[in-house]
Structure 1
Amino acid sequence: MEIKEGKNRFYVTDAAGHEIGEVTYSAVRDSVLSIDHTVVDPQYRGRQIAQQLIKAVVDKAVGDHKQIIPACSYAKAQFARVKDYQQIEFKG
């Protein structure tokens, strides 16, 4: 499975090209992104797809010198678990 980038989102497709997971984000300010929604098809859960999608947004934010607001519940949980993510979390 390959993570692909779309407009304000990253997503994953299965071998047949069907979308099986996505994370969406929006620009809150020039230097801040908000992770709005993370979803993975139930039959693909447990394969760390959602974690990889969150990491894709984090890597983008780091590369673009931006901070993140983890607005969706899954993103909040990941930011609480992964100490490195907390360094780019917007606290403002």
Structure 2
Amino acid sequence: MVEIALQLDEKQHGAFTANEGDEQIGEMVVSIKNDELTVYHTEVAPKAEGKGVAKSLLDTMVKYARENALKVIPLCPYVHLQFRRHESDYADLWKK
């Protein structure tokens, strides 16, 4: 089972990480400043591709942003593409 957790340093830089057991199989690199969450990069290990790990990371990030009243700046190509494809799902979060 994949577990996703947010890890931030003292400067609010970090990542949502996807772990399967003791192994990290994906991450979404983010930073938070004021009321904005910037997503820089999403990566999934080759052995975990096609298993919905990136979507799980996206869903967890979106939930976190909504719970904390953050606007999302999707610099990551994957997140930006999902926001464009499903604009109505993310309109409340997307800082264009």
TM range (shorter): 0.7 to 0.9
2:58 equivalent in structure 1: 54
More strand by share: 2
The offset of 1:32, in angstroms, is 1.0
Aligned: 1:9 with 2:18: no
Give the % identical residues: 30
Question: In the alignment, is the contact (CA less than 8 A) between 1:36 and 1:72 conserved in 2?
Answer: yes
Tell me the TM-score normalised to structure 1 length: 0.87
Number of aligned residue pairs: give it. Answer: 89
Distance across 2 between alignment mates of 1:64 and 1:78: 21
**2:31 is matched with which residue: 21, 26, 30?**
26
- Measure the CA separation in 2 of the matches of 1:33 and 1:4: 16
* TM-score w.r.t. length of structure 2: 0.84
Q: Which residue of 2 aligns with 1:84?
A: 89
Q: Secondary structure in 2 aligned to 1:53?
A: helix
Unmatched runs of 5 consecutive residues or more in structure 1: none
